[in-house]
Amino acid sequence: MSRVSLTQYLVEQQREHGHIPGELRLLIEVVARTCKRIAISVNKGALGDVLGSAGTANVQGEVQKKLDVIANELLLEANEWGGNLAAMASEEMDTIHLVPNRYPQGEYLLLYDPLDGSSNIDVNVSIGTIFSVLKKRGNQQGVSEADFLQPGNTQVAAGYCVYGPQTMLVLTVGDGVAMFTLDREMGSWSLTAENVRIPEDTKEFAINMSNMRHWAPPVRRYIDECLAGSTGVRKKDFNMRWVASMVADVHRILTRGGIFMYPWDQREPDKPGKLRLMYEANPMAFLVEQAGGAATNGRQRILDLQPGKLHERVSVILGSKNEVERVTGYHAQG
Ligand code: AHG
Ligand code: MN
Ligand code: MN
């Protein structure tokens, strides 16, 4: 059976639907190719000496794993010379990375979480890479951090690669969500799902329950009602899943529905949440909305949030529409 490749899919998006210019197509292909290289490192594990800590910390004070650093470097190297980018920003870099002068400059901005789910690397559980593409506004010379501070609703593409039992690339260019599976023998991405839809209702939630005593009342109420199951107000039993890799949890939700939450909690009241707006929440919110789901911070649509700084954090509630609306409604009630 002949399958549609990533290149074919993108060329079709470009040619027939007019969604993406050629430069954006090439940029996505470079990111996808880099994910194949990251997958090779991930798969080697101890054989490639890629497990364990790098002995350094990132700008957010988190200890970097060797693979955080390796994946970040691979994405930087692969993307800086193509001529389609103006600059890059990464969860693992303090400041933005400008395209060196020796290369032509493009108009796109690439943001990424090079390795998501770092705590799962050494225990051989699914991890991933998340990316988001913005377009530089205005035609002034040079690029600064301010160019990146655009709300998620301006993203022109977003996606992730999940390194699990299968290596898959999940992508949106604003025309629905498509999934590609890495064919290792061929070394290519094959389209394996198109027009992905998240069911509006679900009986499955994902949250780190160990933080329960720190949650705000609306989140507590929602989860209490799920736990009460068929004997409570929801009158149905719920199931719980928590991989602790956002990529894997979102992948499950895109595949069979569910709700994912990493909410604000009172341990550090001034910290809006754990997850990063620009590298995690925005790209995932774009994908989830494109698949018919919803994504909020409890009060506002994630994609409408105006970022104040590059490494900003945010509270995240996303997935099956009716459940996300329910939790968001509980926040409105105080
Ligand atoms: P990262 O590895 O990029 O720092 O992201 C980890 C995130 C996310 O993937 C996951 O949903 C969450 O942290 C897990 O947090 P807990 O360890 O608190 O469960
Ligand atoms: Mn992450
Ligand atoms: Mn990460």
Q: How far is the CA of 161 from the centre of ligand 3 (A)?
A: 13
> What number does the ligand 1 atom closest to the CA of 262 have?
11
Does ligand 1 lie within 6 Å of residue 121's CB atom? no
Residue whose Cα lies nearest atom 6 of ligand 1: it is 117
Look at residue 2 in the predicted model and tell me its pLDDT. 84
**CA distance linking residue 40 with residue 229, whole number of Å:** 43
Residue in 228, 245, 248, 247 with CA at minimum distance from that of residue 236:
228
Nearest atom (ligand 1) to Cα of 242: 19
> How far is ligand 3, taken at its centre, from the CA of residue 125, in Å?
14
Can you spell out the DSSP letters for 169-228? Answer: EEEESSS-EEEEEEETTTTEEEEEE-S----S--SEEE--GGGGGGB-HHHHHHHHHHHH
Q: Which domains does the chain have, with CATH numbers?
A: 6-193 (3.30.540.10), 204-333 (3.40.190.80)
Which atom in ligand 1 lies closest to the alpha carbon of residue 116? 3
Protein residue closest via CA to atom 19 of ligand 1: 244
pLDDT per residue as tens, the chain (334 positions): 789 999 999 999 998 878 799 999 999 999 999 999 999 999 999 999 999 999 999 988 889 999 999 999 999 999 999 999 999 999 999 999 999 999 999 999 999 999 999 999 999 999 999 999 999 998 788 899 999 999 999 999 999 999 999 999 999 999 999 999 999 999 999 999 999 999 999 999 999 999 999 999 999 999 999 999 999 999 999 999 999 999 999 999 999 999 999 999 999 999 999 999 999 999 999 999 999 999 999 999 999 999 999 999 999 999 999 999 999 999 999 7
Pick the closest to residue 274 from 62, 79, 4 (CA basis).
Answer: 62
Give pLDDT, residue 334. 74
Q: Of 85, 176, 74, nearest to 115 (Cα)?
A: 74
218 lines ligand 1 (CB under 6 A): no
Q: Does the C-beta of 118 come closer than 6 Å to ligand 1? A: yes
Q: Which atom of ligand 1 is nearest to the CA of 120?
A: 2
As a whole number of angstroms, the distance between CA 87 and CA 144 comes to: 9
